[in-house]
């Protein structure tokens, strides 16, 4: 193994951390090895500080400032830093003893890193510090221990999702993508199943239906009336009948017996009839008694893309919660293969400060999914608005550029594996670069995620080109019209 010494241990150390001093500039996140007590231990460089022993004194003293301005390296400079000890290069076991002072810090050999990162089943990309090292992660741990993908807009979340989904297809997996922006259907996965977000009311629960009809949680009378009509209509579909007309008939019949009702009951029934009619207009073609069960449409070995781009938040909430509820149920009874449910815009469906139906099921799957092979992937550009409970159940995290300190703190609270130093790197990441931590990777890594080979929509549009194109088209139409008028006029004389 080629030995390149970049520093030596100084001062006090623990089995998990050592300080070092060096003359060479290394970079935070770089892997190093330390040879002591007969074992080669892998570590990660953190918290670098650079200084010079020849400059000392009060930095507000003009003489010292003069000295700093003239500093050209005479008297030397030093780099101080910390090494987080990640474990033995073979077993990744944390050493039992701390490294003694004077232990050499060596740049890690890429072959050592390659051995560590090649054991996974899902290829994510390459190490930022060693582009020759391919990084793969463990699919089993990713699915069973859930994943969060967090970053500001445009940092590369959808690209990462696409890379993972394509890898899952290769593994004959069952990724289900809740596609909030209609970007994945045409993305170019090697196998894709596009699923219309249709729901058959026969499979809907009353609480799901109630959200769609928009009956508030305190509207007790409306809820009671609607529940009765919903039950009757469900029975009606079983006999081959229709759904909404049956609900309206039922409600009209109740309205017909108005003499026995109080004023507020009469108002409530009129209100609920209006709401059901609005529901019918709003979700025409989506709530369909002839639609197949949405879960029966999912396919193993394909990207199952549920297109939610054209539906409102309430409908997305119902679809997602419905699929999660049924999936958990069917996995319990072993009726379907393990799945990986990817939820884009997770802060809308599982918000920190509001209760939604999806949030309940996301939280339940986050807690119980592991036992039944139901994996969750929460994707969000606003982590601080995302439910902390669900987020902290994600034992794997891929974080790309994230600038807001409050977002960073929220993420760190949810993931004990994210050290202050890794957190500090998030500001400086470029598009497609990520901090990868959690059970799916043997050690934390800074990774350049592969670029997805398909044609994912969502790259920044060339706005000025679009303006120019529209203006040219308008001008062309204007000229054409002028010519038509001229021809018409000339034809008349």
Pairing of strands 192-195, 303-307: parallel
Residue 449 binds ligand ATP (CB under 6 A): yes
Interface with ligand ATP, residue 381, by CB under 6 A: yes
Pair 348, 362: CB distance under 8 Å:
no
- At its nearest, how many Å lie between ligand ATP and the CB of residue 412? 20
153 contact, one of Mg ion, ligand ATP, none, CB 5-8 Å limit per kind = ligand ATP
Among 79, 116, 135, 151, binds ligand ATP (CB under 6 A): 151
Smallest separation (angstroms) from Mg ion to the CB of 122: 19
Question: Residue 143 Cβ, how far from Mg ion at the closest point, in Å?
Answer: 21
Stretch in the footprint of ligand ATP (CB under 6 A) among 8-16, 129-137, 229-237, 454-462: 454-462
Question: How many residues in total does the chain contain?
Answer: 493
For residues 159 and 449, is the Cβ–Cβ distance under 8 A?
A: yes
- Measured from the CB atom, the residue of 157 and 359 that comes closer to ligand ATP is 157
3-state secondary structure (DSSP) of residue 88: strand
Residue 155 engages ligand ATP in binding (rule: CB under 6 A): yes
Which option in ligand ATP, Mg ion, none does residue 431 bind, with CB closer than 5 to 8 A by kind? ligand ATP
CB of 241 to Mg ion, least distance (A): 42
Q: Which of 84, 123, 141, 157 binds ligand ATP (CB under 6 A)?
A: 157
SS3 category, 368: helix
Residue least distant from Mg ion (Cβ): 158
Residue 476 CB partners (closer than 8 Å, separation 6+): none
CA distances to 72, 192, 446, 452 from 352, rounded to whole Å, are: 52, 32, 28, 31
Cβ closer to ligand ATP: 28 or 158?
158
What's the gap between Cα 342 and its chain centre?
7
**Residue 129 engages Mg ion in binding (rule: CB under 5 A):** no
- 84 counts as binding ligand ATP under rule CB under 6 A: no
- 32 in helix, strand or coil? strand
Residue 146: closest CA among 347, 316, 367: 367
* 154 near ligand ATP (CB under 6 A): yes
Strand order in the sheet with 147-150: 134-137, 122-127, 445-449, 433-438, 396-399, 147-150, 374-380, 339-343, 175-179, 303-307, 192-195
159 binds Mg ion (CB under 5 A): no
DSSP string computed for 216-278: -TT-HHHHHHHHHHHHHHHHHHHTT--SHHHHHHHHHHHHHTGGGS-HHHHHHHHHHHHHHHH
Q: How many of the chain's residues bind ligand ATP (CB under 6 A)? A: 16
Minimum distance of ligand ATP from residue 345's CB (angstroms): 8
Binding residues for ligand ATP restricted to 14-53, rule: CB under 6 A: none
Q: Is residue 77 involved in binding ligand ATP (CB under 6 A)? A: no
Residue 432 found at the interface with ligand ATP (CB under 6 A): yes
Cα separation, 372 vs 338, whole angstroms: 8
Residue nearest to ligand ATP as judged by C-beta position: 432
Residue 73 to residues 23, 53, 67, 115, 392, Cα–Cα distance (Å): 11, 10, 11, 39, 47
Stretch that binds ligand ATP, among 87-95, 128-136, 154-162, 226-234 (CB under 6 A): 154-162
Distance CA 145, CA 491 (A): 76
Query: Would you count residue 158 as binding Mg ion (CB under 5 A)?
Result: yes
26 binds Mg ion (CB under 5 A): no
By beta-carbon proximity to Mg ion, the closer residue of 355 and 459 is 459
CA distance 353 to 357: 13
Which residues are near Mg ion by CB under 5 A?
157-158
Which residues are near ligand ATP by CB under 6 A?
151, 153-159, 381, 431-432, 449, 451, 456, 458-459
């Amino acid at each position: 193994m080629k030995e390149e010494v970049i520093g030596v241990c100084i001062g006090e150390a623990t089995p998990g951390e050592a300080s070092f001093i060096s003359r060479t500039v290394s970079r935070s996140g770089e892997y190093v090895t330390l040879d002591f007590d007969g074992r080669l231990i892998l570590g990660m460089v953190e918290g670098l500080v650079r200084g010079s022993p020849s400059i000392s004194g009060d930095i507000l003293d003009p003489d010292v400032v003069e000295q700093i301005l003239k500093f050209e390296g005479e008297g030397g400079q030093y780099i101080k830093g910390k090494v987080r000890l990640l474990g033995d290069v073979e077993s990744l076991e944390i050493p039992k003893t701390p490294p003694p002072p004077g232990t050499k810090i060596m740049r890690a050999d890429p072959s050592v890193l390659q051995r560590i990162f090649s054991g996974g089943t899902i290829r994510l990309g390459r190490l930022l510090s060693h582009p020759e090292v391919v990084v793969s992660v463990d699919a089993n741990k990713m699915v069973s221990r859930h994943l969060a993908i967090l970053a500001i807009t445009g940092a590369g979340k959808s690209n990462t999702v696409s890379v993972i989904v394509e890898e899952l297809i290769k593994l004959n997996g069952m990724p289900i993508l809740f596609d909030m922006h209609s970007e994945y259907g045409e993305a170019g996965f090697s196998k894709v199943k596009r699923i219309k977000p249709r729901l058959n009311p026969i499979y809907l629960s009353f609480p799901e239906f109630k959200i769609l009809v928009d009956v508030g949680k305190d509207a007790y009378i409306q809820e009671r009336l609607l529940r009765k009509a919903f039950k009757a209509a469900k029975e009606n579909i079983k006999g081959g009948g229709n759904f909404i007309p049956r609900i309206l008939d039922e409600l009209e019949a109740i309205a017909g017996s108005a003499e026995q009702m109080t004023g507020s009951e009469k108002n409530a029934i009129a209100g609920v009839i209006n709401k059901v009619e609005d529901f019918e207009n709003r979700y025409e073609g989506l709530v369909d008694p002839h639609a197949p069960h949405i879960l029966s449409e999912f396919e193993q070995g394909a990207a199952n893309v549920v297109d939610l781009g054209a539906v409102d938040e309430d409908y997305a909430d119902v679809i997602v919660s419905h699929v999660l509820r049924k999936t958990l149920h069917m996995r319990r009874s072993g009726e379907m293969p393990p799945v990986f449910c990817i939820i884009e815009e997770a802060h809308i469906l599982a918000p920190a400060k509001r209760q939604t139906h999806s949030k309940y099921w996301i939280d339940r799957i986050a807690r119980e999914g592991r036992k039944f092979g139901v994996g969750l992937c929460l994707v969000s550009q606003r982590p601080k608005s995302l439910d902390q409970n669900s987020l902290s159940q994600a034992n794997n995290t891929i974080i790309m550029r994230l600038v807001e300190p409050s977002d960073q703190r929220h993420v760190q609270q949810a993931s004990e594996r994210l050290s202050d130093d890794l957190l500090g790197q998030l500001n400086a990441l470029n598009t497609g670069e990520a901090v990868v931590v959690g059970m799916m990777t043997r050690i934390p890594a800074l990774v350049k995620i592969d670029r997805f080979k398909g044609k994912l929509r969502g790259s920044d549009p060339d706005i000025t080109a679009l303006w120019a194109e529209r203006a040219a088209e308008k001008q062309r139409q204007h000229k054409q019209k002028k010519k038509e008028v001229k021809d018409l006029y000339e034809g008349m004389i």
